[in-house]
Amino acid sequence: MLTEQMDRVVVVLVRARNPNNIGAVARAMHDFGFRHLRVVNEYAVPFETARSAVDASEVLAGAEAYISVAEAVADCTLVVGTTAVGERALQHPLHTLADAGEKIGSAAAGGGRVAVLFGSEKTGLSNEELSHCHWLLTIPMADQIGIRHPSMNLGQAVAVCLYEMVRRKDSVVADAVDAAAGAGEVERLTALLGDVLEATGYTRRHPANSDEAQIRRLVLRMDLTASDVPVWMGILRQVLWRVRGG
List the interface residues with a second copy, window 157-196 (CB under 8 A): 159-160, 163-164, 166-167, 169, 171-177, 196
**Residue 236: exposure state from Cβ atoms within 10 A (0-12, 13-18, ≥19):** middle
Residues 69-108 that bind a second copy (CB under 8 A): 85-86, 90-98
28 phi/psi in degrees, rounded to 5: -60, -40
- If one asks whether residue 200 binds a second copy (CB under 8 A), the answer comes out as yes
Note the maximum CA span of the chain: 87
- Nearest approach in angstroms of CB 13 to a second copy is 15
- If one asks whether residue 111 binds a second copy (CB under 8 A), the answer comes out as no
Applying CB under 8 A, which of residues 75, 205, 207, 212 lies at the interface with a second copy? 205
- If one asks whether residue 112 binds a second copy (CB under 8 A), the answer comes out as no
- Nearest approach in angstroms of CB 113 to a second copy is 20
Using an 8 Å Cβ cutoff, are 125 and 77 in contact?
no
- Nearest approach in angstroms of CB 99 to a second copy is 9
Q: Which residue, 22 or 97, is less far from a second copy as judged by CB?
A: 97
Applying CB under 8 A, which of residues 5, 21, 41, 57 lies at the interface with a second copy? 57
Give CB contacts under 8 A, 24+ apart, made by 228-232.
228/178, 228/181, 229/181, 229/185, 229/186, 229/188, 229/189, 232/189
Using an 8 Å Cβ cutoff, are 48 and 95 in contact?
no
Using an 8 Å Cβ cutoff, are 26 and 57 in contact?
yes
Residues 212-241 that bind a second copy (CB under 8 A): 218, 221-225, 228, 231-232, 234-235, 238-239, 241
